[in-house]
Amino acid sequence: MKYNFDEIIPRRNSNSVKWDLAVNDSVLPFWVADMDFRTAPPVIEALNRRVQHGIFGYTKVPQTYFDAVTGWFQRRHNFTFQKEWTLYTTGVISAVSAIIKALTVPGDKVIVQTPVYHCFFASIRNNDCECVSNQLIYKNGTYTVDFDDLEEKASDPRAKLLILCSPHNPVGRVWSREELARIGNICLKNGVTVVSDEIHCDLVYQGFRHIPFASLNDDFCFRSVTCTSPSKTFNIAGLQCANIHAMDESIREKIDKALKINEVSSISPFAVEALIAAYNDSEEWLEELKEYLYGNYLFLKDFVEKRLPQFPVLHLEATYLVWMDCSVLNLSSNVIAEILLEKENLWVNSGMMYGAGGENFIRLNIACPRQLLDEGLRKIEHYFLLALYSKE
């Protein structure tokens, strides 16, 4: 490989949320979706050039920014859209919150497909809306959409939005064209607007293809809003940059107004330069990153199959977040996560934070050098084997 993803880069005392929020310096963090790799060299070079300029005033977002965004999605995802459809903001959660504010009134219902990214719940609640769960079906080691339940939930006149997590966090699914079309047709028939969070769209592995929801047809494009960001792909979440794509002008105007009300309608000069360099000059780095991440998944899968076969992990189609089934322990995932932290100094996410259906799972972030991944897996093995023996 040209890029060294095995390098262990010390992150403690760098004000890292992932590393510096730990209760002590012995904790190994496998929780928040933040990679332990340096971003692509072209991004670092672009940021260095901007720093050397030395003046960091209010920033005008240039045409080259929009060209980079539209070019990336046309090249990588066969999704063609106009510059005029795009609004920029500080992050996908800021985007989702503004979209809910723009397209609902207090008391409306917003559908989510649990277990799902937990920040959706807060965005819905903070806009005085009601969160409705269309719980995914877990069967034979994978998840599918409960379309009958979705039809029922979407038919409620108070249901105004569905937040689609695509690819899905935390279960790692890449939704097929057929699945997306069924979701879209149900929502279109019932007047429910789809808000598609596609932040993980670039981290899709061989054999799978991300299909932007809005690219399926003009009807879906017109009645949907898509949220994207380079933050997960290039490990630049701290630079705070995301984009909202909305074809319908009236929807876009409402969202623009909500962004201004929430005061998240501007981005920094560093966000601008990083996005342009990431989307224009960093595809080679991304391809090697994906190869390394999938190698980590195969390493984990082999470890679990040989040494912890009672704890299956779901097939990872996308993201760097592994979903592990711990139901054999008959313990809540909150308890499992607490014990791993207290006894093994390993910080993972409890599945319960992702809503209905997450009770028996933990989420593991495997975007780290393989040496650290091996260390974390041995901590899991130590606790899980002790827990299993104590049950006998």
pLDDT in tens, 240-265: 999 999 999 999 999 999 999 999 99
Segment 272-299 mean pLDDT = 98
The mean pLDDT value of the chain amounts to 97
Segment 287-294 mean pLDDT = 98
Across the beta sheet with 321-325, the strand order is: 321-325, 361-365, 349-350
Q: Could you tell me if 161 and 197 are in contact, meaning their C-beta atoms sit under 8 angstroms apart?
A: no
Residue 387's pLDDT is 86
Q: Could you tell me if 127 and 104 are in contact, meaning their C-beta atoms sit under 8 angstroms apart?
A: yes
pTM score of the predicted model: 0.97
Which backbone phi and psi does 331 adopt, to 5 degrees?
-125, 150
Residue 200's pLDDT is 98
Does residue 344 carry a pLDDT above 80?
Answer: yes
Residue 388's pLDDT is 85
Segment 148-159 mean pLDDT = 98
pLDDT category of residue 392 using cuts at 50, 70 and 90: low
Segment 101-118 mean pLDDT = 98
Helix (H) or strand (E) holding 122: helix 119-126
Determine the Cα–Cα distance for residues 203 and 213; give it in Å rounded to an integer. Answer: 16
Residue 331's pLDDT is 95
Report the 10 Å Cβ neighbour count for 384.
Answer: 23
How many CA atoms are closer than 13 Å to the CA of 152, on its beta-carbon side? 9
Q: Which residues pair with 313 in a beta bridge?
A: 324
Residue 121's pLDDT is 98
Cα angle for residues 48, 52, 56 (degrees, 5° grid): 100
Q: Out of 3.40.605.10, 1.20.810.10, 3.40.640.10, 3.30.56.10, which CATH number does the structure's domain 43-281 have?
A: 3.40.640.10
Report the 10 Å Cβ neighbour count for 309.
Answer: 9
Segment 179-196 mean pLDDT = 98
Percentage of the residues of the chain whose pLDDT score is greater than 70: 99
* Cβ partners under 8 Å of residue 26, min gap 6: 345
For 17-40+283-391, CATH gives: 3.90.1150.10
pLDDT category of residue 36 using cuts at 50, 70 and 90: very high
In which residue ranges of the chain is CATH 3.40.640.10 found? 43-281
Q: Estimate to the nearest angstrom the gap between the alpha carbon of 155 and the chain centroid.
A: 28
In which residue ranges of the chain is CATH 3.90.1150.10 found? 17-40+283-391
DSSP type of residue 318: B
Report the 10 Å Cβ neighbour count for 342.
Answer: 11
pLDDT category of residue 284 using cuts at 50, 70 and 90: very high
Digit-coded pLDDT (tens) for 10-24: 999 999 999 999 989
Digit-coded pLDDT (tens) for 297-330: 999 999 999 999 999 999 999 999 999 999 999 9
DSSP readout, 180-247? HHHHHHHHHHTTPEEEEE-TTTT-B-TT-----GGGS-HHHHHTEEEEE-SHHHHT-GGG--EEEE--
